[in-house]
A and B are shown apart, each in its own frame.
Chain A
């Protein structure tokens, strides 16, 4: 069955390009809406499987508001688009309930990759707790025995380092905000201590033998927002 994707953007050329671009992959039915109001109606009537939602929508409710309103009754995955590469905008999008965001201009491949990541995550989510292991690149995480291997060699992590890695790795492709990471790994009272996360990620990167110069990376930095685990599986 084809995946139904709703593209919401007030710019006709962008709607057209996304329709052509995503349509070209063959697996998608692309619907479009040009305003927030129209978007909400379309979601209610056609229940799409995923929404690509621009933040600025001309007159009427903007993308953030549409996202908040949809979240009152729908769990449909939402990817927000914006021309603003500001941290505040990204955090606002995630806080409004978006699953991911992309900054314009972007390549259609990147959008496609994000869609696949989200759909894969949704497919495995109900079973997340029963997953026994995660394997990506040269990294292998044995969730049952709390053991981690890089290049088939066991890596020794402290309990906090392991918790951090597990949190990120069990949400592949999803941006985990600093706040969420602190709250999950350290506890809600650590809400403002973003730099703890940064120090730990630094150590973790070294232990996992990341080599960014050869693109060997497992944890992506989303500046000012959080971190995202990349998984090829």
Chain B
């Protein structure tokens, strides 16, 4: 028999002893109980009880304890239940036949019971091995992905981070060295460049930090019931401050429900998506921000009217460090996607009717435990 298939407790000496002791104890207890009922039961009843015990022991403890139980039962029946009692004699030869048949049946049943236990154990083992394999595969995939990310990150660091640093450094040294030869206008321009590039750098570092937190699964959500319309408002105000133009159009129904989300993170996700949409929006048109409730989903659409995105780009644009046709590395979209998925939501890209891309954020509206969003003091 393949000992490897034994449960842990049966492969040790102590475990084996315990199994035998348990089988023995059961046989003794059963004998004692049946002794009390000896006068009301037939010998056939009694042998059946012992047979049941043998099968149970075989299934739970294996073949050897089952054999031990078989022999103990055999002697117990002979000694206590076959007249004359308390001898190993059988006065009736038919009862002797019963005893022998019991021995044979018990041994076969024990063997069968033990076999079924072994099969179950093999099946369990296979499931365990399968799970282990899956786990290993998952780990190695994660490792590969981490490796790929690291390489991409190094590229990003060497190019996209160094560029603003280079500009800042050269502007600052120009200011220092050429000060007397620069017009005030030129000095202001240099200073402005430094500021813009520092902001760019800050955004990139923020994105990289978010990305690494998302990838490491270390993003902690601090969710509360929040308003998506408020997010739209904050994004729109920021765009006005940056461009002094009304580049966004907000349209939310009055019935739009509050949704559970982490305000800061969703604001970041929407900001990334809106920045992306604005980059490709024709100057004469506005990016639309629309809210809608669709059953148990809150939808937030960011509608761009530029060119429709081809399927190839659509398939890859949300992957980290995907380099778009304009050569930018994309961190904004994968971060937005990661944040939304961390909220059990979905981010989809659809074509805008008449051209352009529409990003749809879908966040689940959860049953809010005991919250009423209704006005508690209206009127």
Contact = CB atoms under 8 A, between A and B. Distances in A.
Contacts of A171: none
Contacts of B217: none
B18 interface: no
B57 interface: no
Contact of B230 (A107, A160, A186, A198): A198
B42 interface: no
B264 A194 contact: no
Interface stretch (A8-16, A129-137, A207-215): A207-215
B195 A213 contact: no
A74 interface: no
A194 B373 contact: no
B224 A105 contact: no
User: How many residues of A sit at the interface, in one of the four size bands?
Assistant: 20 to 34
Nearest to B375: A199
A156 to B, nearest CB: 12
A200 B377 CA distance: 10
B92 interface: no
Interface stretch (A18-26, A44-52, A216-224): A216-224
Contacts of B379: 158
A200 B230 contact: no
Nearest to A210: B233
A87 B222 contact: yes
Nearest to A104: B202
Contacts of A194: 224-225
Interface string A72-90: 0000000000000111100
Interface residues of B, number: 37
B16 interface: no
A47 to B, nearest CB: 34
Contacts of A213: 236-237, 239-240, 246-250, 286
B144 to A, nearest CB: 32
Given A87-B222, A202-B229, A210-B233, A224 B378 contact: no
Contacts of A85: 264
B232 A160 contact: no
Contacts, number: 84
Given A87-B222, A195-B258, A186 B227 contact: no
A114 B138 CA distance: 51
B225 A198 contact: yes
Interface in A177-202: 186, 190, 193-196, 198-202
Given A85-B264, A195-B258, A215-B240, A205 B246 contact: no
B260 to A, nearest CB: 10
B241 interface: yes
B237 A217 contact: yes
**Which of B224, B239, B250: most chain A CB closer than 10 A?**
B224
Contacts of B377: 158-160, 186
B169 to A, nearest CB: 15
B52 to A, nearest CB: 60
B376 A223 contact: no
Contacts of B373: 195, 199
Nearest to B195: A107
B234 interface: yes
A204 to B, nearest CB: 11
Nearest to A187: B377
A107 B202 CA distance: 13
Contacts of A215: 237, 240-241
Nearest to A213: B236
B227 A212 contact: no
Contacts of B313: none
Interface of A: 85-88, 105, 107, 158-160, 186, 190, 193-196, 198-203, 205-206, 210, 212-215, 217, 221, 223-224
27 contacts: A86-B264, A87-B222, A87-B264, A158-B378, A186-B377, A194-B224, A195-B258, A196-B376, A198-B230, A198-B258, A199-B374, A199-B375, A200-B375, A202-B227, A205-B233, A210-B233, A212-B237, A212-B250, A213-B247, A213-B286, A214-B240, A215-B241, A217-B233, A217-B237, A223-B263, A223-B264, A224-B224
Given A186-B376, A194-B225, A206-B254, 18 more contacts: A85-B264, A105-B198, A158-B377, A158-B379, A160-B375, A196-B376, A198-B226, A199-B374, A200-B375, A201-B227, A201-B230, A210-B233, A212-B237, A213-B236, A213-B286, A215-B237, A223-B267, A224-B224
